[in-house]
Amino acid sequence: MRYGRIPDETIRRLSTYMRGLVGLFHEGIEKVSSTALAEALHMNPPQIRKDLSYFGAFGTPGVGYEVEKLLNHIKDILKLNNTHSTALVGFGNLGSALLKYPGFSPYGLDIVAVFDDDSAKIGKKINGIEVEDVSRIKDLEKREIRLAILAVPANAAQETTDKLVEAGVRGVLNFAPLYLKVPKKVKVITIDIATDLARLPYYLPAG
Amino acid sequence: MRYGRIPDETIRRLSTYMRGLVGLFHEGIEKVSSTALAEALHMNPPQIRKDLSYFGAFGTPGVGYEVEKLLNHIKDILKLNNTHSTALVGFGNLGSALLKYPGFSPYGLDIVAVFDDDSAKIGKKINGIEVEDVSRIKDLEKREIRLAILAVPANAAQETTDKLVEAGVRGVLNFAPLYLKVPKKVKVITIDIATDLARLPYYLPAG
DNA sequence: TACTGTGAAAAACTTCACAGCC
DNA sequence: GGCTGTGAAGTTTTTCACAGTA
């Protein structure tokens, strides 16, 4: 599918709309207007309509959107209609929390491989997944894993990323607080927990 | 300190500049130009200068910025020059990983209290911090804790937030995937790990 | 010379307003 | 009547270009 130039912010919001729609779907609600969806997510209605209009016309004037149908359209746009096997690299505190995180499955995102460089951890089995040595990363291409979650210490992050990229990984969710150099064909989304927390005091009332 | 209207994105970037400056400082580098800092963080030089110019003139034409001095200015702007006591609510997988997360301390952010509603966890001591019952949240004001990290399940998040707000908390780093209703005086920053990961497949090459 | 600080220009994004359709 | 889809207007943010300074 080929669309025009889409703002990155639109893609970010699309995954938020999806979160809202999944909720409505589970509540058994079948139809929703842009106003009602906006209210649930604290966003604004024309933006939802504009964002969706980049990709097509999914609603019915006078009625709104069918929840299930719109959900599937967004899944198509975000390429979430088939399951994506994902590798988790780094099985420390954060890594093991992420492995148990239940939030990924509604999006069809499955952690199917775990890597670490600590021999004390290698070979352990968690939920049927065995922790493998990082040297095995090179097999990811063969195993058709193109997404990775990076939860290693900052000083190992670039080196590990290079290995992942060489092994054919094309998307990285990075938890290390630094800029990762990657070829253009690879997308990195960084979650920097500490700098996010560090923004909060700014908004505290003076005194 | 009273500044003009500052874009939220500027504040976000400021905490990133700080990350870069902390790195340079530890490397013993004393001076940096906007170009050099931009390179290290993969940002662009005029934006750094513009962002800083909202708050004052911290550099020297022809030379650049003194790393330590600029670091302190940014700390002042973000109110990070004194330590902020922070409460962690939810001591599950994610919560316990966050308690051990080493990245907060360079920003002067200290987790000093941990709450959970699971009696099996209450009373446990980790790094000298005892897990307390969520009912104790009401004492936060007395303890001068105005920041909280929320790592509870989505279905408990709003209710817990209400308690935090009532107890005087003014900033929340939220890991639950939903929009939290709070009074205007309270700032919420949400990290939604699953919807972030869910954006990656969009960028995968077709096929 | 080399770099900052900044008004002005450009670009990007959001919001509006309404024609068109159910 | 009510809601979508969208071109156009409005707003915000980013980038530029250069005057000014150490």
How far is residue B26's CA from residue B141's CA, in Å, rounded to a whole number?
A: 36
A190 C-beta neighbours (distance < 10 Å), count: 18
Chain B residue numbers touching A96 (CB-CB < 8 A)? 93, 97
Q: Which amino acid, one-letter code, is at A67?
A: V
Q: Is the CB of A38 under 7 A from strand C?
A: no
**Contact yes or no for A198 and B80 at CB 8 A:** yes
Where does the pLDDT of residue B68 fall: very low under 50, low under 70, confident under 90, or very high at 90 and above?
A: very high
Note the pTM of the prediction, 2 decimals: 0.96
**Contact yes or no for B194 and A101 at CB 8 A:** yes
A117 C-beta neighbours (distance < 10 Å), count: 15
Residue B1 has pLDDT above 90, yes or no: no
Nearest to B15 among A11, A15, A195 (CB): A195
Tokens in use for B88?
Answer: 């962690």
**Contact yes or no for A200 and B40 at CB 8 A:** no
Helix (H) or strand (E) holding A129: strand A129-133
Query: What pLDDT, on the 0 to 100 scale, is given for residue B207?
Result: 56
- Supply the DSSP symbol for B60: B
Query: What pLDDT, on the 0 to 100 scale, is given for residue B5?
Result: 82
Residue A29 has pLDDT above 80, yes or no: yes
Q: Which of A137, A78, A132, A67 is nearest to A108 (CA)?
A: A78
Tokens in use for B206?
Answer: 């077709």
pLDDT tens digit sequence for A32-70: 999 999 999 999 999 999 999 999 999 999 999 999 999
Q: Which of A156, A155, A150, A152 is nearest to A187 (CA)?
A: A150
Tokens in use for B171?
Answer: 């900033």
Q: Which residues pair with A66 in a beta bridge?
A: A31
pLDDT tens digit sequence for B160-169: 999 999 999 9
- Say whether B158 sits in a helix, a strand or coil: helix
